[in-house]
Amino acid sequence: MKTILTKSSKFGVVAGIILIFSEMINLSSTLAEILEKLFTGGIATKDVIIPFYMGLVTGLIVFFTTFAFLKKQKSDRKNSFLHGLAAAIIISLVSGSLISVLNIILGSYLEKGKDVRVYLEALSPDVIRAFLFQTDVRHAVMNYFLSTFLGSMTALILFWLSQKTNQPAKTIRGLARLKEKIQVGRIFERYPAVKTISILLVIIAILTLPLIVNAYTISVLGIVLIYAIMGLGLNLIVGLSGQLVFGYVAFFALGAYTFGLLTAPKPFGIEMNFWLALLISLVVAGIGGFLIGLPIMNLRGDYLAIVTLGFAEIVRILINSNLMADYTGGPQGIKNIGQPIQPSIFERYFGKPLEDNVWFLYLIIFVFLLILYAAFRLQYSRTGRSWEAMREDETVAQACGVTTSSYKVLAIVIGAAIAGAAGALYASRNTYTGPSEYAFMVSVNALAVVVVGGMGSIPGTLLGAFIIKGLPELLRDLENYRMVVFGALLIVMMIIRPEGIWPVKRRKLSVAPESIEVLKEDLKP
Amino acid sequence: MDAKNNHHEPSSKQAVRKINWLRWIVGVCAGAYVLYRIIFQIVQPEYGPVYWLGFLNTGLIVGGMYSLIAIGYTLVYGVMLLINFAHGDIMMLGCFAGYFTFEFFNYLKVGESNFLNAYPVLAIILAFIIGASVSAVSGFYVEKIAYRPLRNSHVRLAPLISAVGASIFLETVAQIMFGANKKTYKNPLLLERGTGWNIEMGDGMIVITKTGVFSLIMAIVLMIALYFFVQKTKLGKSIRAVSQDKNTAQLMGINLDRVTSQTFIISGILAGSAGVMWGLHNGLFNHFVGFLPGIKAFTAAVLGGIGNIPGAMAGGMILGIVESVGPAFLGIDFQLKDVIAFTILILVLILKPSGLFGKSSSNVEKV
């Protein structure tokens, strides 16, 4: 009993800290707002948050903590419900009193008319009022205790029910069995035509997409695809060859600035053809990758990470500095970067020329498909296999005849070139490029795309790009918390599922069905 | 030719030759350029000796803080073989804690003046204690949550990516909670920023600020304390044992989990003190304050040979001085002083990956 007491009060403190923390960064009221919109269908346009949803969020946090506690607690079958009840009550009391103390303090500040925003920026008076359930402190404390109590009780009852009926576990097992039964891959293997047809369908769907969606979606799709291109490039470096490069944004910036200098009227006034400029910026980024890759090819993971980070910072500082301001425009950046001219074919087929953004999205899709194809070919080539061998074990790879140093440089060069292409597209799409766009966070985003999707997995990278760049656009309310969630996500992914959401599957040695028969014949004594 | 030798050096002969050749070119070029600048500065001096002493002064002060942070990197690397990417952000938390302590003391009335100016020494000591303990606690929990579950991870990059995650998490949380605008430290009058002693020398004068002297002395005291701590106490002994050989240390009855936690606490204390110093000396800070000092302190740790505590101290000092003298010496814009630090990092890793004071053979394999 005593252990239950201490352990459950520990979990109560954890729940209380989560509650306080999400109140301090104003996360819980944002969540409450989202829930309110979800349930009322976005009709409620009032500025104040309905207290019910505030309590719901609080209850949910306590619910999850209690559930985690009960799941972790493997007590004997006897008295387990009573033990759980005691634990749930303690958790709700501890977390409730912690969050109440914070709100009593904040409430007293609010009554005195003091603005706490000087120190805690997230907590404006409106937000504090929302946290106080739009009433006075006394009622708010009662509400908090009520919601934490209800949350932990619901968790207890649900846990008890699930243990008695064994329901969720059964459902999950059933789903897993269903997944095993379907096995899309086997169908593809058996009927190659199905595979070809489905690929064709996907391509057709992608090609018709820009014509049917609105302008906002087009811009989001553009960004997602550019990040997908970057992710494909970084996937070659991090996922396949196993080198952690943090300064990926350096190559992106190199491509963007090369493209900008070649196509903008100022400072050089070359105003080159789009495709030629794209190619040149790709090559320049590749050369940059070579120059960076050459000295660092014998560095190990963490050193490589910091050195490339240093390179990226050097590039950013140089772009921003007075030294290069004549070429890069310093903090102002390069304006009026050229966009590609639409070929007249479109006009002939569609009657009128496509809108600029639609045409540019097609362009991005074209480049994306090109790079996707290249990435697929690379991954399953001799080079890709060498990279994978190197990632798994460098010494063994060397013993098998892989010249690791040159393969490492090759990976960085190809990845850098792809980033250069992405940078050129990005600059051309915005018709502007400036130093503020190449902060460290871009590298982190690109890394998150690769890690979340699954290191070394190409479909995973695409999924990662949609999650990292697409979801925040859809959940605009959570915009501020994007980086917080990324940070937490990177840690949680590494602990729970280090291989990513869509991990790469190892190819098995496949033998055609008819040759198996032949083999069997051969193996007969 | 020698089978044994090949076993120890797995990299192929060709690659080694290529790298040596590269090392020579880079080393000769860098050396020639530095020599040229020395001659240039002697023949055609742009700055008088007073300026150089002034640069040295700034360099020593910043270098002391870099050293404190660099020790944290080195200690953690020794124990876990991991670059604690969140270390700069742990320093940032210490900086914030010190800021809030000073604000609180400024708000607290004692008689006619406030606590901050009535008992300045006590206020400063308390601010350091609070800053150091906040950093120590956050370091402890970062290790417990983000690094410990990954100690035996089969994905090689997992701990490092997790460290990046922790860094981003701490940084953005601080940004949302405390706001992105820059804040100013409220120093007690005893340690007011900008004031100090003016020493006239020839054609100019050097300003030796009070905060600067204080930070440097504080840094040196902390470093000496740490050195004796690591050398003389039982915990220091166990930290050294773990960094020499994890398995054997465990066989000798050292609790790896506990030593790791304690290492993070110690490095947190140093980083937190550095954060409070940073705030006292520089005044302006925000949530991003830990990023650059973090990377530079890592550079310092590499410069001194990672895993080597006196090396990290010396590396921090050297880096601070080079960084503040560098722009004038090389005749480039002062905007570019960060570039110098990163260039040093890259040059050290190319020319002597084991660092200036590291053992040459054993550490190269780590790199």
pLDDT tens, position by position, A255-290:
998 888 888 877 777 777 888 888 999 999 999 999
DSSP one-letter code for A297: T
Under the banding of pLDDT at 50, 70 and 90, the label for residue A507 is: low
CA-based nearest residue in chain A for residue B348: A307
- Give the burial string for A265-301 (b: 16+ CB within 10 Å, else e): eeeeeeebebeebbebbbebbbebbeebbbbbbbbbe
DSSP H or E stretch at residue B204: strand B204-209
Angle at A125 between CA A119 and CA A126, to 5 degrees: 135
State residue A508's pLDDT score: 64
DSSP one-letter code for B113: E
Instruction: Specify whether A161 is located in the same domain as A255.
Output: no
Token digits of residue A275: 């495709």
* Tens digits of residue pLDDT in A43-71: 655 566 677 788 888 888 888 888 888 87
Residue A18 lies in a domain: yes
- Put simply, whether A487 touches B (Cβ < 8 Å) is yes
CA-based nearest residue in chain A for residue B177: A25
For A:5-34, CB contacts with B below 8 A are: 21, 24-26
Instruction: Specify whether A157 is located in the same domain as A224.
Output: no
- Report the share of chain A in percent with pLDDT over 70: 91
CA distance A4 to chain B (A): 22
State how far the Cα of A437 lies from the Cα of A334, in Å rounded to an integer: 12
Q: Which residues from chain B sit within 8 angstroms of residue A496, using beta carbons?
A: none
Instruction: Specify whether A246 is located in the same domain as A143.
Output: no
- Put simply, whether B361 touches A (Cβ < 8 Å) is no
Query: Does A405 contact B338 at a Cβ distance shorter than 8 Å?
Result: no
Instruction: Specify whether A263 is located in the same domain as A151.
Output: no
State residue A76's pLDDT score: 53
Structural domain of A310? 215-496
State residue A415's pLDDT score: 93
Highest mean pLDDT among A2-16, A185-199, A336-350, B211-225: B211-225
Q: Which residues from chain B sit within 8 angstroms of residue A26, using beta carbons?
A: 176
State residue A185's pLDDT score: 64
Distances (CA, A) of A330 to A268, A326, A334: 15, 7, 9
State residue A43's pLDDT score: 60
Residue A342 and residue A354 in contact, taking contact as beta carbons nearer than 8 Å: yes
Residue among A299, A310, A484 whose CB faces B172 most closely: A484
Residue B247 and residue B229 in contact, taking contact as beta carbons nearer than 8 Å: no
State residue A42's pLDDT score: 61
State how far the Cα of A479 lies from the Cα of A482, in Å rounded to an integer: 5
* Tens digits of residue pLDDT in A401-416: 888 888 889 999 999 9
Backbone angles phi, psi at B188, to 5 degrees: -70, 155
Sequence length of chain B is: 367
B49-342 belongs to which CATH class? mainly alpha
- For the beta carbon of residue A4, count every other beta carbon within 10 angstroms: 18
- For the beta carbon of residue B155, count every other beta carbon within 10 angstroms: 15
Scan for tokens 């007491």, then name that residue: A5
Asked if the ipTM is above 0.85, the reply is: no
Residue among A295, A313, A406 whose CB faces B26 most closely: A295
Residue A28 and residue A110 in contact, taking contact as beta carbons nearer than 8 Å: no
Backbone angles phi, psi at B59, to 5 degrees: -60, -40
Model's pTM, two decimal places? 0.85
CA-based nearest residue in chain A for residue B152: A495
Query: Does A119 contact B82 at a Cβ distance shorter than 8 Å?
Result: no
State how far the Cα of A258 lies from the Cα of A278, in Å rounded to an integer: 9
Please name which of B169, B154, B85 lies closest in space to residue A490, comparing C-alpha atoms. Answer: B169
Instruction: Specify whether A168 is located in the same domain as A220.
Output: no
- Put simply, whether B351 touches A (Cβ < 8 Å) is no
Partnered with residue B209 across adjacent β-strands are B196
Instruction: Specify whether A156 is located in the same domain as A225.
Output: no
Instruction: Specify whether A266 is located in the same domain as A396.
Output: yes
pLDDT at A472 over 80: no
Scan for tokens 């009927």, then name that residue: A191
Residue A37 lies in a domain: yes
Q: Which residues from chain A sit within 8 angstroms of residue B349, using beta carbons?
A: 295-296, 299, 303, 307
Residue A208 lies in a domain: no
Please name which of A250, A216, A169, A202 lies closest in space to residue A462, comparing C-alpha atoms. Answer: A202
State residue B94's pLDDT score: 92
Q: How many helices (H) and strands (E) does chain B have?
A: 15, 6
Partnered with residue B208 across adjacent β-strands are B197
For chain A, the farthest-separated pair of C-alpha atoms sits apart, in whole angstroms, at: 95
Scan for tokens 């803080």, then name that residue: B65
Token digits of residue A160: 């008890």
Instruction: Specify whether A354 is located in the same domain as A285.
Output: yes
Helix (H, G, I), strand (E, B) or coil at B201: strand
DSSP one-letter code for A267: T
State residue B134's pLDDT score: 93
Instruction: Specify whether A366 is located in the same domain as A258.
Output: yes
CA distance B223 to chain A (A): 25
State residue A204's pLDDT score: 85
H helix intervals, A335-401: 344-350, 356-379, 382-392, 394-399
Please name which of B66, B124, B75 lies closest in space to residue B226, comparing C-alpha atoms. Answer: B75
Among B29, B164, B167, most A C-beta atoms within 10 A, so best to mutate, is B164
Among B24, B161, B292, B363, most A C-beta atoms within 10 A, so best to mutate, is B161
Residue A57 and residue A31 in contact, taking contact as beta carbons nearer than 8 Å: yes
State how far the Cα of A345 lies from the Cα of A353, in Å rounded to an integer: 9
Among B77, B96, B299, B349, most A C-beta atoms within 10 A, so best to mutate, is B349
CA distance A290 to chain B (A): 14
The residue-averaged pLDDT of A188-193 equals 74
- Put simply, whether A105 touches B (Cβ < 8 Å) is no
Query: Does A25 contact B173 at a Cβ distance shorter than 8 Å?
Result: yes
Residue A510 lies in a domain: no
Query: Does A310 contact B332 at a Cβ distance shorter than 8 Å?
Result: no
Query: Does A444 contact B103 at a Cβ distance shorter than 8 Å?
Result: no
Query: Does A295 contact B177 at a Cβ distance shorter than 8 Å?
Result: no
- For the beta carbon of residue B71, count every other beta carbon within 10 angstroms: 31
- Count: domains in chain A: 2
pLDDT at A156 over 50: yes
Distances (CA, A) of A220 to A330, A341, A472: 28, 22, 10
Please name which of A504, A410, A415 lies closest in space to residue A461, comparing C-alpha atoms. Answer: A504
Is residue A354 packed enough to be buried (19+ CB in 10 Å), middle (13-18) or exposed (0-12)?
middle
Residue A400 lies in a domain: yes
pLDDT at A511 over 70: no
Token digits of residue A155: 């968790």
Plot region of A214 (φ>0 → left; ψ -120 to 50 → alpha; else → beta): beta
- Put simply, whether B367 touches A (Cβ < 8 Å) is yes
Query: Does A494 contact B353 at a Cβ distance shorter than 8 Å?
Result: no
Point out the residues of chain B with pLDDT beneath 50: 1-12, 360-367
State residue B139's pLDDT score: 93
3-state helix, strand, coil in chain B (%, to 5): 75, 5, 20
Distance between the two ends of chain A, CA-based, in angstroms?
68
Sequence length of chain A is: 525
Residue B119 and residue B101 in contact, taking contact as beta carbons nearer than 8 Å: no
CA distance A382 to chain B (A): 20
State residue A413's pLDDT score: 93
Query: Does B333 contact A321 at a Cβ distance shorter than 8 Å?
Result: yes
- For the beta carbon of residue B292, count every other beta carbon within 10 angstroms: 13
Residue A181 lies in a domain: no
Plot region of A113 (φ>0 → left; ψ -120 to 50 → alpha; else → beta): left
Instruction: Specify whether A222 is located in the same domain as A108.
Output: no
| Paired sense of beta strands B284-285 and B183-184, if any | antiparallel
Query: Does A494 contact B12 at a Cβ distance shorter than 8 Å?
Result: no
Residue A317 lies in a domain: yes
For B:49-68, CB contacts with A below 8 A are: none
Residue among B150, B155, B169 whose CB faces A488 most closely: B169
